[in-house]
């Protein structure tokens, strides 16, 4: 949560002038995004109707060569009536520009707020929307490898090392064996699509039970749809104490399958995939934990939260995804 780069009003106004959106009226740095800086931008609009946008400056973690995929996917899905923000192209038609050596993109502002304590009706709607995104992405022309696949998760945990993992929690190194098992999984025969791969409630804008926007597609990649559903399940269906929210889990799966029925092979694989999904967040949180000084003013997310979800899926996954 930060704005990493200071952009002066004059610099912002000059940048915005490259887009067909009218002159700059307001710009506020917003506290969103861990790997980029974001501003909520207001312009006078071209037809003197005020318009709002999110300006994103890509700071780190994001490879420039991935931007055509990320931004193109937004345009592709938006054109197919999925609730994702479209990219505003500049007057030369470019989806992103360079500013001070960094890429910037102007993205449609969407209304809505991210639920902190989602309800079943919201989980249903998110499942439905996720399936629509999967369907709409089938004819997208670009692809991107999953850089957070099960093999990478294992490499990340092994890179941390048992001793460092144990310094976070004495039980944490025990996740290495399941991580090795997950890395062996072959998901290539499962139905594929472009997947969001990080659909936490933070990345969903809603008004009541209506999804108004899926955002932050910067882990999006080509991969098995069941993986996206499993990530979303692990991210949405547990309360703050780690208890499984049965109603939300049922609603998410029902919403998803109201648009796209899971096949037998996917259902059979889902318990293993869900365990793999928890390992992804265990790995990234463990790495962040070890990278963050003890006295930093940043709240570290506890990897053990997802260890407990791994145990839950290990015991109950077969029932839940039956």
Interactions with its own copies, residue window 295-314 (CB under 8 A): 297
Q: Does 149 bind its own copies (CB under 8 A)?
A: no
Per the DSSP assignment, residues forming a β-bridge with 28 are 40
Q: Rule CB under 8 A: is residue 177 a binding residue for its own copies? A: no
> Least distance from C-beta 213 to its own copies, angstroms?
10
Question: Is 14 among the residues that bind its own copies (CB under 8 A)?
Answer: no
Q: Decide: is 243 part of the binding site for its own copies (CB under 8 A).
A: no
Q: Name which position in 17, 40, 99, 135 contacts its own copies (CB under 8 A).
A: 40
Based on the shown chain and the rule CB under 8 A, indicate whether residue 9 belongs to the binding site for its own copies.
yes
Spell 168-204 as b/e; 16+ CB within 10 A means b: bbeebbebbebbeebbebebeebebbbbbbbbebebb
CA geometry: angle 269, 272, 82, nearest 5 deg: 65
Give the list of residues 6+ apart from residue 151 with CB closer than 8 angstroms, or none.
183
Shortest Cβ 57–its own copies spacing (Å)? 13
Q: How far is the CB of 113 from its own copies (least distance, A)?
A: 4
The set of residues, in sequence order, having a beta carbon less than 8 Å from that of 45 and lying 6+ positions away, is 21, 22, 51
Interface residue with its own copies, options 5, 17, 18, 30 (CB under 8 A): 30
48 binds its own copies (CB under 8 A): no
Which of 32, 14, 23 is CA-nearest to residue 205?
32
Residue closer to its own copies (CB basis): 120 or 175: 120
2 binds its own copies (CB under 8 A): yes
Return d(Cα 92, Cα 314) in angstroms, integer.
52
Instruction: For residue 22, state whether it binds its own copies (rule: CB under 8 A).
Output: no
Ranges within 86-125 binding its own copies (CB under 8 A): 109, 111-117
Kindly state the smallest distance separating residue 111's Cβ from its own copies, in Å: 5
In whole angstroms, give the CA distance from residue 193 to residue 135. 8
Q: Coil, strand or helix: which one is 102? A: strand
- The reply to whether 199 sits near its own copies by the rule CB under 8 A is no
Q: What are phi and psi of 26, to 5 degrees?
A: -160, 150
- Min dist CB 52 to its own copies, Å, is 9
286/122 Cα distance (integer angstroms): 30
Q: How many residues bind its own copies (CB under 8 A)?
A: 32
- Residue 296 neighbours by CB distance under 10 Å: 9
34 contributes a contact to its own copies by CB under 8 A:
no
Q: Binding residues for its own copies, per CB under 8 A? A: 1-3, 8-13, 24-32, 40, 42, 109, 111-117, 205-207, 297
């Amino acid at each position: 949560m930060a704005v990493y780069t200071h952009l002066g009003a004059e610099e912002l106004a000059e940048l915005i002038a490259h887009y067909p959106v009218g002159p700059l009226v307001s710009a506020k740095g917003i506290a969103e995004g861990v790997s980029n800086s974001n501003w909520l931008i207001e312009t006078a609009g071209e037809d003197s109707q005020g318009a709002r946008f999110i300006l994103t400056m890509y700071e780190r973690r994001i490879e420039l060569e991935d931007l055509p995929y990320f931004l193109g996917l937004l345009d592709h899905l938006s054109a197919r009536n999925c609730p994702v923000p479209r990219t505003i192209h500049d007057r030369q038609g470019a989806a992103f520009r360079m500013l001070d050596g960094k890429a910037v993109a102007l993205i449609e502002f969407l209304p809505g707020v991210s639920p902190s304590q989602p309800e079943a009706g919201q989980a249903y709607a998110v499942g439905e929307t996720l399936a629509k995104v999967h369907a709409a992405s089938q004819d997208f022309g670009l692809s991107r490898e999953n850089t957070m696949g099960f093999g990478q998760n294992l490499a990340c945990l092994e890179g941390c090392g048992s001793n460092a993992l144990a310094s976070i929690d004495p039980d944490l190194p025990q996740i290495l064996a399941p991580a090795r098992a997950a890395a062996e999984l072959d998901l290539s025969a499962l139905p594929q699509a472009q997947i969001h791969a990080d659909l936490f409630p933070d990345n969903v804008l809603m008004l009541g039970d209506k999804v108004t926007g899926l955002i932050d597609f910067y882990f999006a990649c080509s991969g098995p749809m069941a993986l996206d559903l499993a990530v979303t399940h692990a991210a949405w269906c547990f309360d703050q104490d780690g208890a499984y929210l049965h109603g939300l889990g049922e609603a998410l799966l029902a919403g998803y399958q109201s648009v796209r029925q899971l096949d037998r092979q996917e259902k059979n694989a889902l318990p293993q995939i869900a365990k793999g999904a928890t390992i992804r967040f265990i790995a990234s949180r463990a790495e962040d934990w070890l990278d963050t000084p003890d006295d930093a003013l940043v709240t570290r997310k506890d990897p053990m939260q997802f260890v407990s979800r791994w145990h839950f899926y290990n015991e109950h996954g077969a029932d839940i995804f039956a």
